């Protein structure tokens, strides 16, 4: 295993971060507070002073200065919904509707979790992401093996110096389709029926074991916020695959341990139809009935929601994580983000498995969100750069458990900062009427990120990572995967190919909701 020098072994010390413009926080939907020719003093990972560069530098001579008079400085960005390192496309799965895509992925080779995590962390950090909500893979039983896998993922983030809110996704029903496992298996041919039963037996676990064999050991190791880079979260994978009992226990664990929950919800039209069939109401309405909603909860996607759902989400203080690229790639639909914002529902941003370029570029994701939600018509107002800036910073921090520490630039906050080449973004000419935040949303690319600072440490500068050797990780990851399939991988791949046509047939007679354009939610 490659561990590099490890960020935690290096104290942050003291440094000055300088910018032609510093974007501190969104004041409202239109204005981002901007300081010109300013600087930030960080001491031991915490912001100690903010002011004119001339004053800060004069008061602290001889201190390392990061950035220059042509830089743009912003708070670290937050990817509030992330799963894997190597993308599904890289491992052999094309973009498919979610209900088929997950089964197709059964045939993937399993990369080393530490190396796999570093792979995507490189891409995230290079695009200015300093914190991530990592929603870990669903694991086979026994639960006693889950802490080791989770610890390897967390170790990767700690070694590279990145902030992570980690949740192990779990499920206890409907493992192949949105129906009871035994009922679906009974419809399969005899040989495949036995194969599917054997496959599912490996996924069964006692719900109580999740707390005793996974959650408690993880809390003992990473809880109590003893490590500023790590938060623990809970993540039943989605409503369809989590029983009411699992959801109720998850709420109890969240209260008991003081942690939050991330739940995929209403991602696809099939999931909306599932709730109509199973509960006679929407997924959100059912969650309200069982007492699951609250400000501790972030809902991933929320693509297929109605007016009543929006009122419930707002009334319970729930956050939505918008995954624009994923929704487009998997043909899930377009979430009603403008309707969320009209009601005051906080929206964070996630890249999910990968963005449109099959990578983790948060700068591009912000730009996609800006343009995706432009309603046709002369008199419609698009999302503003300030709104998108807030989604990627403050709202993301709140959605992942880091809201008290990051998400804005203020004295006392942790020093998670991104320095970009503002001159490069505006070259050869940009009108003075174009604000710095507008430039960021419309023109910033990963090539403009000159430094990413997390907890006061520069973890990335001028294309190089400080604590982990990217090329060595790539070489090790390639060696780990570029080999003949193992027997278990061959068996899983064969099962995936054999079962996939039956899963597709299962949904053939479902009556899906009418694909009403998202901008007509209010009956326009």
Q: Confirm if 476 and 462 have CB atoms less than 8 A apart.
A: no
d(CA 105, CA 121): 21
pLDDT tens track for 226-270: 799 999 999 999 999 999 999 999 999 999 999 999 999 999 999
d(CA 220, CA 9): 21
Return the percent helix, strand and coil in the chain, to nearest 5: 40, 20, 40
d(CA 258, CA 252): 10
Phi, psi of 127 (to 5 degrees): -105, 10
- Tokens 């896998």 — which residue? 149
Domain with CATH 2.30.40.10 in the chain: 10-75+410-468
Domain with CATH 3.20.20.140 in the chain: 77-264+347-399
Give the per-residue pLDDT at 524. 44
d(CA 112, CA 499): 26
Angle subtended by helix axes 436-443 and 362-372, to nearest 10? 100
Pairing of strands 457-461, 449-454: antiparallel
For 4, the 3-state DSSP assignment is coil
**What would the DSSP string read from start to end of 387-433?**
HHHHIIIIIHHHHTT-TTTSSS--TTSB--EEEEEHHHHH-S---TT
Predicted TM-score (pTM) of the model is: 0.96
Give the per-residue pLDDT at 522. 44
pLDDT of residue 307 exceeding 80? yes
For 35, the 3-state DSSP assignment is strand
Range 407-423 average pLDDT? 98
CA-nearest of 382, 379, 304 to 341 is 382
Alpha carbon separation from 105 to 32, 90, 94, 497 (Å, rounded): 42, 11, 9, 10
Handedness of CA 182, 186, 187, 193 (dihedral sign): positive
Query: Domain 10-75+410-468, what fold?
Result: Urease, subunit C; domain 1 (2.30.40)
d(CA 196, CA 182): 10
- Integer-rounded Cα Rg, in Å, for the chain is 23
User: Sorting pLDDT into bands at 50, 70 and 90, what band is 382?
Assistant: very high
CA-nearest of 5, 21, 8 to 72 is 21
Tokens of 200: 């599912």
Give the per-residue pLDDT at 503. 98
Q: Which CATH class is domain 77-264+347-399?
A: alpha beta
User: Sorting pLDDT into bands at 50, 70 and 90, what band is 523?
Assistant: very low
pLDDT of residue 519 exceeding 70? no
User: Sorting pLDDT into bands at 50, 70 and 90, what band is 8?
Assistant: confident
pLDDT tens track for 106-125: 999 999 999 999 999 999 99
pLDDT tens track for 312-361: 999 999 999 999 999 999 999 999 999 999 999 999 999 999 999 999 99
Range 49-65 average pLDDT? 97
d(CA 389, CA 65): 25
Write a three-state SS string for 240-277.
Answer: CCCCHHHHHHHHHHHHHHCCCEEEEECCCHHHHHHHHH
Mean pLDDT of the chain: 95
d(CA 24, CA 416): 12
CA-nearest of 180, 173, 172 to 143 is 172
């Amino acid at each position: 295993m490659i561990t590099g020098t490890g960020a935690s072994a290096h104290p942050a010390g003291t440094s000055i971060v300088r910018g032609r413009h510093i974007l501190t926080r969104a004041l409202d939907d239109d204005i981002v507070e901007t300081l010109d020719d300013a600087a930030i003093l960080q001491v031991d990972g915490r912001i100690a002073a903010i002011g004119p560069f001339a004053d800060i530098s004069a008061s602290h001579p001889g201190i390392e200065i990061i950035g220059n008079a042509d830089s743009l400085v912003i708070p670290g960005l937050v990817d509030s919904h992330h799963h894997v390192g190597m993308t599904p496309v890289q491992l052999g799965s094309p973009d498919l509707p979610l209900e088929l895509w997950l089964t197709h992925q059964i045939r993937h080779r399993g990369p080393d979790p530490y190396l796999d995590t570093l792979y995507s962390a490189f891409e995230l950090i290079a695009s200015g992401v300093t914190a991530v909500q990592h929603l870990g893979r669903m694991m086979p039983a026994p639960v006693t093996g889950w802490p080791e896998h989770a610890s390897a993922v967390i170790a990767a983030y700690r070694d590279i110096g990145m902030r992570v809110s980690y949740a192990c996704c779990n499920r206890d029903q409907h493992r192949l389709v949105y129906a009871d496992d035994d009922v679906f298996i009974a419809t399969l041919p005899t040989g495949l029926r036995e194969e599917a039963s054997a496959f599912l037996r490996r996924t069964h676990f006692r719900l109580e074991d999740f707390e005793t064999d996974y959650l408690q050991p993880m809390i003992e190791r990473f809880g109590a916020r003893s490590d500023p880079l790590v938060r623990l979260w809970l993540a039943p994978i989605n409503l369809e695959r989590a029983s009411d009992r699992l959801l109720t226990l998850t709420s109890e664990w969240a209260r008991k341990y003081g942690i939050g929950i991330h739940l995929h919800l209403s991602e696809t039209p099939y999931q909306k139809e599932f709730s109509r069939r199973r509960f006679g109401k929407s997924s959100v309405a059912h969650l309200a009935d069982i007492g699951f909603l609250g400000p501790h909860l972030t809902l991933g996607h929320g693509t297929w929601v109605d007016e009543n759902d929006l009122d419930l989400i707002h009334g319970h203080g729930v956050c939505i994580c918008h995954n624009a690229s994923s929704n487009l790639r998997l043909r899930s639909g377009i979430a009603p983000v403008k309707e969320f914002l009209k009601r005051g529902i906080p929206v964070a941003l996630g890249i999910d498995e990968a963005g449109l370029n099959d990578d983790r570029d948060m700068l591009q994701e912000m730009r996609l969100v800006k343009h995706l939600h432009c309603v046709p018509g002369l008199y419609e107002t698009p999302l503003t750069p300030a709104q998108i800036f807030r989604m990627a910073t403050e709202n993301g921090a709140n959605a992942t458990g880091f809201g008290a520490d990051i998400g804005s630039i203020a004295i006392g906050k942790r020093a998670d900062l991104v320095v970009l080449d503002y001159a490069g973004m505006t070259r050869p000419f940009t009108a003075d009427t174009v604000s710095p935040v507008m430039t960021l949303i419309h023109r910033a690319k990963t090539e403009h990120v000159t430094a990413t600072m997390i907890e006061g440490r520069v973890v990335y500068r001028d294309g190089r990572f400080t604590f982990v050797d990217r090329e060595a990780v790539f070489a090790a990851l390639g060696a780990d995967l570029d080999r003949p399939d193992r027997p278990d991988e061959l068996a899983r791949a064969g099962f995936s190919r054999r079962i996939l046509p039956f899963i597709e047939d299962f949904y053939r007679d479902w009556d899906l909701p009418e694909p009403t354009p998202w901008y007509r939610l209010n009956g326009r």
